[in-house]
Amino acid sequence: MAGGKETPRQKMIGMMYLVLTALLALQVSSAVLEKFAIINVTLEELVAEDNKKNAAILAAIRESAQGKTNPKVVTALANAEKVREATANAMQEIEKLKGEMMKVSGTDKVDGVFINNHGSQVATMMIDPRNTRGKAFEKMLNDYVTTLNQLTGEQYNKIAKAPKDIDFFKDDPDHNKKDFLTFTFENTPPIAALTTISQFQTEMMATEALALGKLAVDAEAGVVKFDKIVPMVKPKSSIVAAGAKYEADMFITASAEGLTPEMFMDGKKLDVQLDPSYGVMMGKVSFPASAGAYDATGLARKTFEAEIRIGDSEDQIYKQSIEYFVAKPVIRVTTGNAPTLYMNCGNLVNIEVPALGTDYNPSFSARGGSVIKGDKPGRVTLVPKERKMAVTVANGGATLGTENFDVKPIPSPKYVAMDNNRRPIDMKNGVRGASLTGLRISAEAEENFKQEVPQDANYRIRSMEVILARGTQRVATINANSEILDMGAWRSQFRPGDRIIVDIKTVTRRTFQGEDERVAIRSEVLNIPIQ
């Protein structure tokens, strides 16, 4: 590479070219040659792009030198013109060489035949000592760099480098003894040779950019003339309480018409737009403020690096560390009627951060349970699996805080005996046996539990043993799988003083998700006296 300042794109393409060159030495498949064709197109686009940029630098030098008689400025302009002329001549020679490469390969364009040509016609043309084409090309590259050195007084890197001059190959015994032409074109298919020539063109453009940059400084073309001066006010705080002082710093800012600076925050390029109020270009800084180590006042100090570039030289790059403070957000949690949650139930909770307003679009993670997002920001259903549950709240990728919840066990249901008309049975006095045709035994949720998580407070008795007892004797037994008991078969057996004993065996709870969960049975037996 030519050295000096290169764009990330130039560095990437250079590395890809280097890797493919190494793969080519291993005589890999035609797929590699196709990659060379792709890189060649990209390199040619890069050359065209750099050519426009270098022409713009020359135009800036001409504009800056216009009307000036300072010998240094006049000389810089003349030498800049010569640099561009030398580059144009060199590029013309290289394009002519590319045409010759295609001609000896039997074509006049880069097509499938040319790309998949594994022949050595081009390599022979460039390396064979009986053909002066290769030596003329090497001399042209060296003369070009020498010319730019003379015109600028600088010393730029050679373009026609032997492998001993390249860090990647200088210690490679298979290559470091070769000369420039042999190393560059030996065993090289036409498309790879063509791409190599395009790579040299990008290096020439990069070298020319360095030379013109040096001459631009000599011609004072790097001085930006600001033609837009506007006042700016930076308040100490955007919120002021009634009766408090409003404090701000007033200053001026400047811009130049036609100048579009590049702006960065922590190395990330910003969107730059013309501000209609002030008529100057402004970079749009926007990012979610992350949580930090809050002090006693609830503030966390943060910084980011601001950078504005109006050119490539160091004196045209402006950097500053910007300080700001992040206020600890207040997380407000409402859980309906209770501050605690119920185990394995769908506890509807609202988790709000009023300070964020419409920017509040939270995400949640939990320890000791799971979180199901609701239909509105902050509305969630918490499903605890442990006696303690912690929910972490984040917004825009920034963690806001963690809320801890206590978890209560589900209260056991109570068992109620009713007649067929759903009237409760008088458990003290009992029922008349002659009129008893049926019973309904149900499991009912504790009242607070029913109010707080109504969708989880649905119980059903799945099995029970029903005994008709007389004294200490069992008269009859029913193993029921339904809450509704038909007593018709027992009516003729009822005697005053008998008892109907109900022993609950299995109870389930229907959860808010529609699943049946088995409930632990407490030791409770219903005794219904018979009159």
Percent pLDDT > 70 in the chain is: 85
pLDDT confidence of residue 358: 78
Task: Considering the chain, tell me which residue range(s) the CATH 2.60.40.10 domain(s) occupy.
Answer: 332-408
Cβ atoms within 10 Å, residue 401: 15
User: What's the rounded mean pLDDT across residues 337-346?
Assistant: 78
pLDDT in the model for residue 3: 43
> What is the tens place of the pLDDT at every residue in 114-126?
888 888 888 889 8
Rounded Cα–Cα distance for residues 157 and 147 (Å): 12
Residue 6 pLDDT level (bands cut at 50, 70, 90):
low
Render the burial of 301-334: b for 16+ CB within 10 Å, e for the rest: eeebebbbebbbeeeeeeeeeeeeebebbebeee
pLDDT score for 338: 44
pLDDT band at 51 (very low <50, low <70, confident <90, very high): very high
Q: What is the mean pLDDT of the chain?
A: 83
Q: How confident is the model at residue 337 (pLDDT cuts 50, 70, 90)?
A: very low
Instruction: Report pLDDT for 34.
Output: 76
How many residues appear in the chain? 531
Residue position matching structure tokens 């196709």: 34
Instruction: Report the pLDDT value the prediction gives residue 512, as an integer from 0 to 100.
Output: 92
pLDDT at 330 over 70: no
Average pLDDT of the segment spanning 162-173: 81
**CATH code for residues 332-408:** 2.60.40.10
Model pTM score: 0.45
- Cα distance between residue 413 and residue 504, in whole Å: 12
Higher pLDDT, 326 or 153: 153
Residue 23 pLDDT > 60, yes or no?
no
Geometric angle at alpha carbon 518, from 512 and 521, rounded to 5°: 125
pLDDT higher than threshold 70 for residue 16:
no
pLDDT one-digit tens code per residue, 211-245: 998 898 888 665 555 666 777 766 666 555 554 56
Q: Pick 51 or 177 by higher pLDDT.
A: 51
As a whole number, mean pLDDT of residues 36-57 equals 89
Per-residue model confidence as pLDDT tens digits over 24-40: 544 545 666 677 788 88
pLDDT for 90-103, tens place per residue?
A: 999 999 999 998 89
- Cα separation, 61 vs 83, in Å, equals 12
Query: Is residue 272 classed as helix, strand or coil in its secondary structure?
Result: strand
Q: Output the pLDDT for position 10.
A: 54
SS3 of 389, please? Answer: strand
User: Higher-confidence residue: 123 or 174?
Assistant: 123
Per-residue pLDDT for 453 more than 50? yes
Q: What is the mean pLDDT of residues 514-531?
A: 87
Confidence of residue 315 (pLDDT cuts 50, 70, 90): low
Give which of 162, 312, 302, 142 is closest to 222, Cα–Cα: 312
Q: Can you give the pLDDT at residue 4?
A: 44
Q: Return the number of other C-beta atoms located less than 10 Å from residue 266's C-beta.
A: 11
Backbone angles phi, psi at 210, to 5 degrees: -65, -45
Most confident range (mean pLDDT) of 62-66, 238-242, 505-509 is 505-509
Give the number of C-alpha atoms closer than 13 A to the C-alpha of residue 428, restricted to the C-beta side. Answer: 0
**76-100: average pLDDT:** 93
Backbone φ and ψ for 460, nearest 5 degrees, come out as -150, 130
Q: What is the pLDDT of residue 246?
A: 64
- Residues 6 or more apart whose CB falls under 8 angstroms from that of 218 comprise 72, 73, 75, 76
What tokens does 492 get? 């003729």
Residue 186 has a CB neighbour count (10 Å cut-off) of 15
